[in-house]
Structure 1
Amino acid sequence: MSKKIVVAEDFNVSRKIIVNLLSKAGYSILEAADGQEALQHFDGQDLDLLITDYNMPNMDGAELISEVRKNEHYSYIPILLLTTEVKEEKIQKALDEDITAWIKKPFQADGFLKIVNRALK
């Protein structure tokens, strides 16, 4: 059975690129356009990884991570944070939520997939 990944990214083109990369690598993907939409996938089903953008409308990546971490069923799920964010306080807020890795956009496909594969081991 393939690993199930939630991808939260508000920029449609970026989300499609990420979903395409992960799908070709054999992963099952649940897409979300923002944190609120992504949070709906955390309903008790088995999920293996969250990949989220930082800056999104309605609920940003840091808020999403915080909400996911509050749920006992997902408190230890690996989380990859994608961002172009450079503000130190925002970076620290995300790091305080115990993310697995921070990936700066734009990223190289091969490097991205290596990080995903490592997070899922």
Structure 2
Amino acid sequence: MSKRIVVAEDFNVSRKVIVSILSKLGHTVLEASNGLEATSFFNGGAIDLLITDYNMPEMNGAELIKQVRASEKYAYIPILLLTTEVNEQKIKMALDENITAWIKKPFQADEFLKIVSKALR
């Protein structure tokens, strides 16, 4: 079943790889190059999953997650956080926002797909 997925990732190559993987599965993928841009997709329409990088310009992933979770409509959607971040304080801040899973970059496509499939159940 096709899902609507928002992908917020500032690194163009990573974003295109993720979009390609998800599109091949038949999902509708909405792309954003930063957290601020991604907020435009959370306008009352159906969103089934948010996949966001942590470190981005304009608005980082933690700020995006906080804003999405503040909306009653999107408070419980699954959120996957992609990152190379190792700072424990930043990791804790993201986990405190009730993310669904933390995915360390670089990731293997098959492991990524397992996590996405589980999040979309």
Query: Taking structure 1 as the reference length, what is the TM-score of the superposition?
Result: 0.99
Q: Which residue does 1:84 correspond to in 2? A: 84
C-alpha distance in 1 between matches for 2:28 and 2:83 = 22
Q: CA deviation at 1:27?
A: 0.9
Unaligned runs of 5+ in 2: none
Amino acid at match of 1:116: V
Indicate the RMSD between aligned Cα atoms, in angstroms: 0.6
Q: Which residue does 2:75 correspond to in 1? A: 75
C-alpha distance in 1 between matches for 2:19 and 2:108 = 14
Mean Cα deviation higher: 20-29 or 77-86: 20-29
C-alpha distance in 2 between matches for 1:5 and 1:46 = 9
C-alpha distance in 2 between matches for 1:69 and 1:81 = 14
Q: Which residue does 1:10 correspond to in 2? A: 10
Spell out the pairing of 1:46-57 with structure 2 (5 A cutoff). 46-57=46-57
- Report % sequence identity: 71
Flag as ranges the 4+ runs of structure 1 deviating above 3 A. none
Report the number of matched residues.
Answer: 121
* Structure 2 SS opposite 1:73: coil
